[in-house]
């Protein structure tokens, strides 16, 4: 197939066929990570700007490594370095960057829809690296790839997404992607963190992790994002951890071949007990590894041709 | 030049028992003559009213003119010109200017500016609380004496129930209506659209319908407690329509208003993070939209008002959750409302009432309408005209309309205010 | 309509491969054995077939995708589909026979050499092509050539193999009659 998506903004734009194609391309880049010289000249002369209005180490680094392995010139701009801290509007910031002719902008922003807004106003290709509580498409792609590495078929799997569903862009992108591949999805968490309308994503809902943990093939734990919550919708981290944290005791009831995932960074002892995070069935580091390859694939696929 | 003879026009004012094809003469600021086969004299401009309809000029209870303080969004001159283009001859301007219209000096300033620059009648609405801060009552009595016709903290809700009770008691004593913007400030904190499936999918914090219902319910009880006339502005939820319906059945002095966008659009318009669909109260889901229409049909909602809220591109072409609330609405209000007549949800007479008689009733103002010797405040309309609304041609300083490029039916052709033709589409 | 003329049929192509296999063996007598690395897509198939025709010392088979090393990204509006680069033996100090179907401008071979160098430093790289059609834009020559053709710029040489095409043989496409 020809991959003719100008931007990667939301998983809802990507068909199963397109995702399969991304995975296939990713496989080529995984091979490169094993080489002595982990660099190819594919994006030589292209400029990738990582425009991060929110703090992020993992995703930003992952995109940076991906771009550099493709020989692109990668420039990182964080909120404090940009003029946003001086009151410049998002569109002005972006227009000023565009005057320097970047080919791809990787955007993380606290406002849902910010990457879409930029894609409408700028010529550069846009990759959404997380926008508010909306989506985080590259995370979903690397998550699905990681699941596929361990479970072959995604269709028919029962996947739990556990935690702060309301404020999670990782949950939204994963729900869409997993449903597209025919997985069964159940979101689990305190009711105050699960919007009623979440069912429109075609997922089941449970407020009791202990009761349903035996059903899942894959358990994705979400990070409790204290920085994003206003009034805390649960009484304390301790109580949250008691009911929705994953520990060895609870895992005894899970399927023997269950795998555990987490988009990171992990709040050890809150969402995931340290022994669980480090256990062989934990795929947390595989996720990180796949992250670089998926992002290489996307940068490669978007980097073709002249600026459109 | 202010002498006109409109020929062969359908003159429509059921309140004055008028629905006839005939001629109407405007002279010296008033309606001089209504009749058949009138002949134009030499100083009169003759206008062919064939297949057109002549309404009394519309009254908008809910306009933001932005002056003083936000003249980059709108001014009294541009806002009233946009109103004239929408067939309005009177508009009430909300208090959330800078400085806030919370004292007689600001009220007088607005009226003086209007005297000099407005195309039509401008009636200020004063604040309930000083600076709209919800902490201390504004000088309501003095504002009324200076010319305010109602009080409202529009844009904000007076969250302190005791203060709201004081305001309503006090306003009752001065026989001035209290117009409320009803959204629980805590329940809607950081919300930028209706809480529902669309907000869930877009990852935007929602404002539940109940945030409105709770405050409407409270204010209805306070109206019962104080006897003060409560006018609920821009009703957007099924819950508040029902609450107002019940209040009316109980015989309370409660009236309600709907804005054209709330009976035309739903939260689906917010998809793609369209900031021109961001307003407060937010566009709701289809069931709420239908409830608002039902409220207009059965008379629960007395008034159609625009909530014309102009904003500059720097306030709108930004991230959805940071964008300003509100849209322009004066120029599209009639056509969007007339759609309800075309859909048989309202009779033409009822529609006109909600744009003329009823808003005046809310303000306890006398209705003149179309009758001999009344001020010539008139709107000439082509009900069959199909047209496309182009926001680029708007008289407003701002361009924030979700109806840009919409195909509409029913177009205001000319507007007269006190005998002066203040708008002519030609 | 483009003119199309068949130059080799299936049997002739098979004979040509036999000849090339014999030449590989001959070369190896003096230089030692090669590992065979095909360039996607048809070079990979040719490498596989040649390997099956060869006897004697154990040779490894590899495949190379050169798309990440192309010098014409900017011209294409979408990026080419990537195929697997799979070389299971250490490239370092190995002797490699690079295999492709048609040698034309030399740019593919330039890319292939760069791609190869990123995997390690081979002792020696030789080049085998089924058809050399001339028209070089870079100073690159093949060591083993199945068929040499003089072809004008307006013409194209197409090698079709039944593993991925409907037919098998070599065709000359386009040009004047």
Interface size between A and B, measured as CB pairs under 8 A: 59
Question: How would you class A1 by CB atoms within 10 Å of its CB: exposed for 0-12, middle for 13-18, buried for 19 or more?
Answer: exposed
Q: How many residues does chain C have?
A: 177
Any idea which fold A11-135+289-302 has?
Answer: Rossmann fold (3.40.50)
Position C177 pLDDT exceeds 80: no
Cis peptide before B99 (omega within 30 of 0): yes
Question: Whose structure tokens read 């596929």?
Answer: A148
Q: What are phi and psi of B103, to 5 degrees?
A: -155, 165
List CB contacts of B4: < 8 A, sequence separation 6 or more.
B25, B26, B27, B44, B45, B46, B47, B416, B419, B421
Q: What are A108's strand-pairing partners?
A: A52
Position A35 pLDDT exceeds 80: yes
Question: What's the domain count of chain B?
Answer: 2
- Domain that includes residue B384, residue range: 4-54+372-424
Per-residue pLDDT tens over the stretch B257-269: 999 999 999 999 9
Q: Which of A89-93, A223-227, A282-286, B77-81 has the lowest mean pLDDT?
A: A223-227
The confidence band for A87, taking pLDDT boundaries of 50, 70 and 90, is confident
Sheet containing A47-52: give its strands across. A73-78, A47-52, A104-109, A125-131
Taking an 8 Å cut-off on Cβ atoms, the answer to whether C68 and A301 are in contact is no
Q: Which of B338, B362, B386 is the last residue of a domain?
A: B362
pLDDT more than 90, % of chain A: 78
> How far does CA B351 lie from the centroid of its chain?
13
The confidence band for A55, taking pLDDT boundaries of 50, 70 and 90, is confident
What are the extents of the domains in chain A? Answer: 11-135+289-302, 137-283
The confidence band for C76, taking pLDDT boundaries of 50, 70 and 90, is low
The alpha carbon of residue C26 is apart from the nearest alpha carbon of chain A, in Å, by 33
The confidence band for A307, taking pLDDT boundaries of 50, 70 and 90, is very low
Does some domain include residue C52?
yes
- Active site (annotated) includes residue B307: yes
pLDDT of C79: 79
The alpha carbon of residue C111 is apart from the nearest alpha carbon of chain A, in Å, by 10
DSSP letter, residue A105: E
Q: Please, what is the angle between helix C42-53 and helix C10-31, to 10°?
A: 70
pLDDT of B279: 97
Q: What are phi and psi of A200, to 5 degrees?
A: -65, -15
Query: Sign (positive/negative) of CA torsion B370, B373, B375, B376?
Result: positive
Question: Whose structure tokens read 């200017």?
Answer: B97
Give all chains having 3 or more CB-to-CB distances under 8 Å with chain C.
A
CA dist C162 and C168 (Å) reads: 5
Question: What's the domain count of chain C?
Answer: 1
Does some domain include residue B367?
no
CATH of the domain at C69: 3.40.50.2020
Which of A6, A20, A21, A42 is the best residue to mutate to test the C interface, defined by the most C CB atoms within 10 Å of its own CB?
Answer: A42
pLDDT of A305: 58
Q: Name the catalytic one among B307, B321, B382, B407.
A: B307
Check if the beta carbon of residue B100 is closer than 8 Å to that of residue B68.
Answer: no
Tell me whether domains A11-135+289-302 and A137-283 share a fold: yes
pLDDT more than 70, % of chain C: 94
Taking CB atoms and an 8 Å cutoff, what residues of chain B touch A11?
none
As a whole number, mean pLDDT of residues A257-268 equals: 94
Residues B192 and B341 in one domain: yes
| Closest chain B CA to residue A175 | B201
Residues B239 and B295 in one domain: yes
Neighbours of A70 (CB within 10 A): 25
Q: Do chains B and C touch (3 or more CB pairs under 8 A)?
A: no
Q: Do chains B and A touch (3 or more CB pairs under 8 A)?
A: yes
Of the ranges A96-110, B34-48, B346-360, the best mean pLDDT one: B346-360
Which of A7, A24, A28, A38 is the best residue to mutate to test the C interface, defined by the most C CB atoms within 10 Å of its own CB?
Answer: A28
Q: Which of B318, B333, B362 is the last residue of a domain?
A: B362
Residues B333 and B220 in one domain: yes
Taking an 8 Å cut-off on Cβ atoms, the answer to whether A31 and C84 are in contact is yes
Q: Enumerate chain A positions whose Cβ falls within 8 A of a Cβ in C.
A: 2-4, 24-25, 27-28, 31, 35-37, 39-43, 45, 70, 300-301, 303-306, 308
As a whole number, mean pLDDT of residues B197-208 equals: 97
| Least CB–CB distance from C78: residue in A35, A70, A305 | A305
| Closest chain A CA to residue B187 | A231
Q: 3-class SS at B355?
A: helix
Check if the beta carbon of residue C54 is closer than 8 Å to that of residue C18.
Answer: no
Per-residue pLDDT tens over the stretch A172-192: 999 999 999 999 999 999 999
The confidence band for B239, taking pLDDT boundaries of 50, 70 and 90, is very high
The alpha carbon of residue C50 is apart from the nearest alpha carbon of chain A, in Å, by 25
As a whole number, mean pLDDT of residues A256-275 equals: 94
| Least CB–CB distance from A28: residue in C78, C82, C119 | C82
Q: What are phi and psi of B252, to 5 degrees?
A: -75, 160
pLDDT of C81: 87
| Least CB–CB distance from A305: residue in C69, C77, C115 | C77
- C98: tokens are 């690079």
Query: Sign (positive/negative) of CA torsion A197, A201, A206, A207?
Result: negative
The alpha carbon of residue C40 is apart from the nearest alpha carbon of chain A, in Å, by 13
- Domain that includes residue C39, residue range: 20-151
| Among A217, A216, A303, A289, residue whose Cα is nearest residue A30 | A289
Give all chains having 3 or more CB-to-CB distances under 8 Å with chain B.
A
CA dist A219 and A221 (Å) reads: 6
Residues B168 and B201 in one domain: yes
| Least CB–CB distance from A303: residue in C79, C82, C84 | C79
Q: What are phi and psi of B28, to 5 degrees?
A: 55, 40
Measured between its terminal Cα atoms, the distance across chain C in Å is: 12
The alpha carbon of residue B194 is apart from the nearest alpha carbon of chain A, in Å, by 12
Position A84 pLDDT exceeds 80: no
Residues B67 and B174 in one domain: yes
Q: What are A218's strand-pairing partners?
A: A159, A259
Taking CB atoms and an 8 Å cutoff, what residues of chain B touch A197?
196-197, 199-201
Sheet containing A204-206: give its strands across. A204-206, A184-188, A158-162, A218-221, A259-261
CA dist B141 and B124 (Å) reads: 14
A264: left (phi over 0), alpha (psi -120 to 50) or beta: left
Position A228 pLDDT exceeds 60: no
Taking an 8 Å cut-off on Cβ atoms, the answer to whether C79 and A300 are in contact is yes
What does the angle CA B221 – CA B61 – CA B354 come to, to the nearest 5 degrees? 85
Which of A197, A222, A225 is the best residue to mutate to test the B interface, defined by the most B CB atoms within 10 Å of its own CB?
Answer: A197
The alpha carbon of residue A187 is apart from the nearest alpha carbon of chain C, in Å, by 36
pLDDT of A51: 94
* CATH code of the region A137-283: 3.40.50.1370
CATH of the domain at B413: 2.30.40.10
As a whole number, mean pLDDT of residues A246-261 equals: 96
């Amino acid at each position: 197939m020809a991959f003719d998506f100008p931007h990667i903004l939301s998983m809802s734009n990507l068909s199963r066929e397109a995702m399969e194609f991304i995975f296939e391309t990713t496989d080529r880049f995984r091979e490169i990570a094993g080489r002595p010289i982990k660099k190819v000249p594919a994006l030589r002369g292209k400029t990738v700007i990582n425009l991060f209005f929110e703090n992020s180490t993992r995703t930003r680094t992952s995109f940076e490594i991906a771009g550099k392995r493709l020989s692109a010139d990668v420039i990182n701009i964080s909120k404090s370095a940009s003029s946003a801290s001086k009151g410049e509007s998002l569109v002005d910031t972006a227009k000023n960057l565009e005057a320097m002719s970047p080919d791809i902008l990787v955007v993380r922003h606290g406002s849902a829809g910010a990457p879409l807004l930029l894609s409408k106003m700028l010529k550069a290709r846009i990759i959404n690296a997380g926008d508010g509580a909306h989506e985080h498409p590259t995370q979903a792609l690397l998550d699905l790839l990681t699941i596929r590495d361990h479970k072959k078929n995604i269709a028919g799997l029962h996947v739990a997404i556990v935690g702060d569903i309301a404020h999670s862009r990782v949950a939204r992108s994963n729900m869409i992607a997993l449903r597209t591949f025919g997985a069964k999805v159940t979101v689990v968490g305190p009711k105050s963190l699960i919007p009623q309308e979440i069912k429109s994503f075609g997922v089941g809902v449970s407020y009791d992790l202990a009761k349903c943990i035996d059903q899942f093939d894959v358990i994705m734990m979400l990070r409790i994002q204290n920085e994003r919550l206003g009034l805390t919708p649960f009484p304390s981290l301790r109580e949250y951890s008691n009911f929705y944290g994953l520990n060895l005791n609870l895992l005894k009831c899970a399927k023997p071949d269950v795998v555990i995932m987490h988009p990171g960074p992990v709040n050890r002892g809150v969402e995931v007990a340290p022994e669980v995070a480090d256990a062989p069935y934990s795929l947390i580091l595989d996720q990180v590894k796949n992250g670089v390859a998926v992002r290489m694939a996307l940068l490669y696929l978007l980097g073709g041709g002249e600026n459109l | 030049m202010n002498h006109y003879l409109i020929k062969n026009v359908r003159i429509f004012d059921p309140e004055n028992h008028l629905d006839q094809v005939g001629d109407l003469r405007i002279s010296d600021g008033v309606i001089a003559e209504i009749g058949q086969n009138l002949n134009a004299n030499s100083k009169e401009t003759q206008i062919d009213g064939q297949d057109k309809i002549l309404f009394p000029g519309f009254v908008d209870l809910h306009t933001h003119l932005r002056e003083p303080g936000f003249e980059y969004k709108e001014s009294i001159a541009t806002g009233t010109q946009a109103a004239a283009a929408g067939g309005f001859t009177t508009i009430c301007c909300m208090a959330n200017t800078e400085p806030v219209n919370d004292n007689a000096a600001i009220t007088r300033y607005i009226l003086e500016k209007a005297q000099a620059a407005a195309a039509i009648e401008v009636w200020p609405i004063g604040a309930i609380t000083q600076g709209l801060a919800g902490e201390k009552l504004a000088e309501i009595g003095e504002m009324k004496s200076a010319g305010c016709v109602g009080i409202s903290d529009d844009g904000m809700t007076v969250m302190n129930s005791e203060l709201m009770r004081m305001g309503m008691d006090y306003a009752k004593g001065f026989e001035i209506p209290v117009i409320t913007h009803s959204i629980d400030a805590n329940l809607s904190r950081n919300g930028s659209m209706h809480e529902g499936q669309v907000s869930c999918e877009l990852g935007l914090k929602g404002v539940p319908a109940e945030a409105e219902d709770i405050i409407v319910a409270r204010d209805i009880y306070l109206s019962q407690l104080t006897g003060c006339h409560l006018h609920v502005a821009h009703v957007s939820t099924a819950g508040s329509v029902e609450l107002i319906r019940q209040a009316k059945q109980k015989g309370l002095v409660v009236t309600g208003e709907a804005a054209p966008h709330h009976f035309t659009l739903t939260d689906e318009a917010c998809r793609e993070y369209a900031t021109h669909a961001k307003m407060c109260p937010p566009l709701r889901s289809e069931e709420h939209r239908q409830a608002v229409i039902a409220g207009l049909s059965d008379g629960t909602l007395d008034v159609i008002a625009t909530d014309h809220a102009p904003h500059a591109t720097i306030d709108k072409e930004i991230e959805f959750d940071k964008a300003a609330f509100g849209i322009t609405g004066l120029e599209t209000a009639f056509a969007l409302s007339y759609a309800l007549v075309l859909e048989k949800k309202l009779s033409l007479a009822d529609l006109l009432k909600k744009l003329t008689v009823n808003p005046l009733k809310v303000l306890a103002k006398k209705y003149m309408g179309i009758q001999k010797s009344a001020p010539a405040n008139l709107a000439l309309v082509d009900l069959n005209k199909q047209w496309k609304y182009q926001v680029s041609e708007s008289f407003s300083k701002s361009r924030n309309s979700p109806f840009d490029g919409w195909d509409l039916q029913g177009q205001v052709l000319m507007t007269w205010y006190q005998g002066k033709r203040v708008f002519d589409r030609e | 309509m483009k003119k199309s003329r068949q130059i080799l049929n299936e049997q002739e192509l098979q004979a040509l491969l036999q000849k090339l296999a014999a030449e590989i063996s001959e070369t190896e007598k003096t230089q030692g054995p090669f590992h065979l690395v095909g360039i996607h897509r048809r070079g990979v198939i040719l490498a596989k077939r040649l390997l099956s025709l060869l006897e004697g010392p154990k040779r490894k088979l590899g495949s190379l995708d050169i798309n990440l090393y192309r010098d014409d990204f900017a011209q294409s509006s979408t990026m080419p589909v990537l195929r697997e680069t799979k070389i299971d033996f250490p490239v370092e100090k190995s002797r490699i026979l690079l295999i492709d179907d048609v040698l034309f401008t030399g740019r593919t071979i330039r890319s292939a050499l760069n791609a190869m160098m990123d995997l390690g430093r081979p002792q020696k790289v030789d080049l085998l092509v089924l058809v050399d059609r001339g028209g070089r834009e870079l100073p690159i020559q093949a060591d083993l050539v199945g068929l040499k053709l003089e072809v004008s710029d307006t013409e194209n040489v197409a090698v079709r193999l039944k593993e991925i095409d409907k037919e098998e043989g070599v065709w000359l496409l386009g040009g004047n009659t």
